[in-house]
Chain A
């Protein structure tokens, strides 16, 4: 339904960030399968270990976004555009990271939050994504 270039325009992620996210997801699903199958005991792979690839890609993407943001700010005449990009990447990464952290806590049984509360950062992010969808030009 979407071309890669359209996804880039809509979500504000570069192709490289999408690639890193996909690699992280693949690693995460492999570790998740090992955890659920019981191949390793819960003490070897706890939920935070299982989610570690996803936290790693967040850190990696944050580093990438800071570099791109600084370069855009210094090279481009349009400073406002660079600030917009940095702000969007910050919102995206912070909300996703909070969701993953809360999900880890919930699955580990360290918090009494309900799933609707755990998913709240994703709902906030969805509102931002909807606003971005409305801002896409028709051309």
Chain B
């Protein structure tokens, strides 16, 4: 897939999610929060498939799996943390009687944001002129 296709696909997913979120926040619908997040679950599924395909394509060139997992550690951690963040938000909003602490809910998001900051900062250091 070219960058334009991937960008338009991501755009479509975000658009559908925002429409569902607006419908859920306005008192028009009473869907489960897990249903509202369906576009993001679909996106996560495709992200997982994308990462698996990338690993398998490299694995065919007789590289060791451990090396590949280390090579793609940012991708794998990012996808897993994104799924964990969404899951925690859905659980917190859907089941308020469970009284999940907001700090526990936020932990995956904080880790994801911190890791992203470190990653972008590392990339920024490599670029001489920005």
Contact = CB atoms under 8 A, between A and B. Distances in A.
A15 B130 contact: yes
A115 B120 contact: no
Contacts of B105: 33
A22 interface: yes
A132 B22 CA distance: 24
Q: Interface residue tally of chain A, by bracket?
A: 35 or more
Interface residues of B, number: 37
Contacts of A66: none
**Chain B at the A interface: mostly helix, strand, loop or mixed?**
helix
B11 A15 contact: no
Instruction: Tell me the interface secondary structure of chain A in the complex.
Output: helix
A16 B14 contact: no
Contact of B101 (A4, A37, A116, A122): A37
Interface centre among B21, B50, B124 (most CB of A within 10 A): B124
Contacts of A30: 106, 110
Interface of A: 1-2, 4, 6, 9-10, 14-16, 18-19, 22-23, 25-26, 29-30, 32-33, 36-37, 114-116, 119, 122-123, 126, 129-130, 132-134, 136, 138
Interface of B: 2-4, 6-8, 10-11, 14-15, 18, 21-23, 25-26, 46-47, 50, 101-103, 105-106, 109-110, 113-114, 116-117, 119-121, 123-124, 127, 130
